């Protein structure tokens, strides 16, 4: 997992950066090999069984809070387990983030996502930078498939080039974990530039914090849709901490009131 040597190749770095700057995302197939992805999945299964019960409720989201098998999202795994700490820091993921942002980076979050069959909801179109509140808004989010993900169980969709056009207006959604969505998403321009990515376990997608993206719901009868997310901020990006904390506090209060966490 920490083999970063292959990312030292200068041609590869130039290509990755070019594609990222042009499109606002990259697709990196087989970022983790089979053996690595197997150990991540085993670790996650163990983590879900043994550590999740002790995590604070605002870091654990269920589609239906009364049904543990509907677990949909976990936050900041690196705070609870060394294995995930090592994935996040001084790792291949961190190196890739730093190449793409052309900056040193600060690891902020490592997440687990699932969309249970039939009830896994769509992720509304959004820009992560809207939640991050950074100046300059320089950050990347990585999304790594833990199993086959396609149009049936919820693949990720990006709007090519949208990272060059600023932040669009967002409004509150009812989707736990993605509480803000672009209010006027779906213009002919959005749809014309949208691309989607069927992925296999170990494939990695990376997008800029201003890239518009969304993901389908899980419409399948019995397939899960498991993935991990990694968030790195560029070192020069400054967080509006007060605004961020106020937003997080208000959201936690609202979700608790609505009995969602």
Ligand X SMILES: O=C(O)CCC(=O)C(=O)O
Alpha-carbon distance 104 to 84, whole Å?
Answer: 20
Q: Which of 156, 210 has the CB closer to ligand X?
A: 156
Alpha-carbon distance 149 to 187, whole Å?
Answer: 26
SS3 state at 228: strand
Show the site string, 158-197: x = touches ligand X by CB under 6 A, - = not: ----------------------------------------
Residues in 142-161 at the binding interface with ligand X, rule: CB under 6 A: 143, 156
According to CB under 6 A, which one of 227, 228, 237, 261 is a site residue for ligand X? 227
Alpha-carbon distance 150 to 173, whole Å?
Answer: 24
Q: Which of 25, 113 has the CB closer to ligand X?
A: 113
Q: Phi and psi (nearest 5°) for 133?
A: 60, 65
Alpha-carbon distance 102 to 12, whole Å?
Answer: 14
Token pair listed for 85: 């700490």
CB of 14 to ligand X, least distance (A): 26
Distance from chain centroid for Cα 108: 11
According to CB under 6 A, which one of 123, 127, 153, 199 is a site residue for ligand X? 123
Decide: is 209 part of the binding site for ligand X (CB under 6 A).
Answer: no
CB of 122 to ligand X, least distance (A): 8
Alpha-carbon distance 31 to 219, whole Å?
Answer: 27
Alpha-carbon distance 151 to 114, whole Å?
Answer: 15
According to CB under 6 A, which one of 74, 100, 105, 215 is a site residue for ligand X? 215
CB of 149 to ligand X, least distance (A): 9
Q: Which of 47, 178 has the CB closer to ligand X?
A: 178
Identify the H or E element spanning 21.
helix 10-23
Residues in 40-99 at the binding interface with ligand X, rule: CB under 6 A: none
Q: Long-range contacts made by residues 44-50, C-beta under 8 angstroms, separation at least 24?
A: 44/112, 44/146, 44/226, 47/77, 47/80, 47/81, 47/84, 48/74, 48/112
Q: Which of 141, 173 has the CB closer to ligand X?
A: 141
According to CB under 6 A, which one of 157, 168, 208, 213 is a site residue for ligand X? 213
Q: Which of 75, 91 has the CB closer to ligand X?
A: 75
The footprint of ligand X (CB under 6 A) covers 113, 123, 128, 141, 143, 156, 213, 215, 227, 229
């Amino acid at each position: 997992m920490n083999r970063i040597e292959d990312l030292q190749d200068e041609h590869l770095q130039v290509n990755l950066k070019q594609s990222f700057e042009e499109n606002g995302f990259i697709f990196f197939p087989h970022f983790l090999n089979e053996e690595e992805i197997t150990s991540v999945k085993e670790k996650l299964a163990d983590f879900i069984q043994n550590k999740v019960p002790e995590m604070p409720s605002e870091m654990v989201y269920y589609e239906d809070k009364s049904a543990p098998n509907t677990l949909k999202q976990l936050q900041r795994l690196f705070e609870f387990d060394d294995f995930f700490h090592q994935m996040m820091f001084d790792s291949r993921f961190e190196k890739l983030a730093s190449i793409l942002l052309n900056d040193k980076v600060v690891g902020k979050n490592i997440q687990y996502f699932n969309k249970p069959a039939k009830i896994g909801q769509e992720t509304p179109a959004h820009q992560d930078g809207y939640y991050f509140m950074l100046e300059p808004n320089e950050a990347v989010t990585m999304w790594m498939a833990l199993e086959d993900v396609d149009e049936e169980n919820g693949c990720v969709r990006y709007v090519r080039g949208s990272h060059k056009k600023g932040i669009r207006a967002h409004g509150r959604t009812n989707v736990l974990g993605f509480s803000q969505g672009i209010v006027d998403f779906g213009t002919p321009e959005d749809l014309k530039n949208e691309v989607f990515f069927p992925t296999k376990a170990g494939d990695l997608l990376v997008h800029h914090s201003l890239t518009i993206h969304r993901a389908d719901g899980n419409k399948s009868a019995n397939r899960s849709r498991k993935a991990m997310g990694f968030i790195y901020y560029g070192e020069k990006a400054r967080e509006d901490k007060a605004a961020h904390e106020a937003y997080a506090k208000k959201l936690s209060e609202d979700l608790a009131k609505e009995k969602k966490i």
